[in-house]
Amino acid sequence: MKSTGSASFLICITILLLVFISSFDFGKTHAHIFISDDDASSFLTLIERVRVEALMANVTATENLTKSQDHYSKLIKNLDDIIDSENDFEISSYQFDNSTVNALLFANLMDEVLKNYGASYGILPSVMTNMSYMSSTQMSTVNKSKSPLDTEKYMISKEYAKRAFEIYDSTLRIFENKNNKNSLDNIGKDLTELINSINNRTDPFDIMSIVHIGIHPNLQTAFNLTLNS
């Protein structure tokens, strides 16, 4: 009975936090392969992290109270980071409508997909986000399970992939023109393949290929992003 009450309390807190999140247009990290010195994409990425942690806490509240509380701890930390960023960053709402900002946010979400999907197989984030590990020689040195060991990380990767598609469809497409239409179309196809592959629990190497070889180059072309050297 006590556990049920606690779960209900956590669900109520989730609803309140989601209301807080909805007060922003969308959601501190930089896309690892692209150069960025803006604050807006980092701020939006924090919001997206809060969104995912709130969703996961809500999902696990009735199943596993300990895991749910862990998600809330991460959520509160992200909220603290947002409050700190409001003091440190100078962000105006019009910055959120910038194509580069939204493209970098999208790239950050791809990082989250890679890191969490890899983590579900016991692979370090530094491996999943590093294209150099895609060579057969490098991947042979990586210890990984044949199936997800961490269901929670796997589910988080699915949420980030789903959210990335929503942003692609509702935000990135707004900036479509005759010069970047083909690249944006390719991103859409690769995103669909990514989501299907995650649902089918495809080998992490294949997930890396879709993002590093498919999505990243088209994102760079579509929005004229600069690669980190």
Tokens of 210: 């879709």
pTM > 0.85: no
**Given this model, what pLDDT does residue 133 score?**
84
**Given this model, what pLDDT does residue 38 score?**
62
Please answer whether residues 60 and 71 qualify as being in contact, where contact means their C-beta atoms are separated by less than 8 angstroms.
Answer: yes
Per-residue pLDDT of the chain (229 residues; tens, 9 = 90+): 444 444 444 455 555 455 444 444 333 344 556 665 566 777 788 778 878 877 776 665 555 555 555 655 565 555 555 545 444 444 455 556 789 999 999 999 999 999 999 999 999 999 999 988 887 666 666 666 677 889 989 999 999 999 999 999 999 999 999 999 999 999 999 999 999 999 999 999 999 999 999 999 999 999 999 887 5
What distance in Å separates the CA atoms of residue 88 and residue 80, rounded to the nearest whole number? 12
DSSP 56-87: HHHHHHTT-HHHHHHHHHHHHHHHHHHHHHHH
Write down the domain spans for the chain. 2-223
Residues in the chain: 229
Please answer whether residues 157 and 198 qualify as being in contact, where contact means their C-beta atoms are separated by less than 8 angstroms.
Answer: yes
For 137-187, give the secondary structure using H, E and C. HHHCCCCCCCCCCCHHHHHHHHHHHHHHHHHHHHCHHHHCCCCCHHHHHHH
What distance in Å separates the CA atoms of residue 39 and residue 128, rounded to the nearest whole number? 25
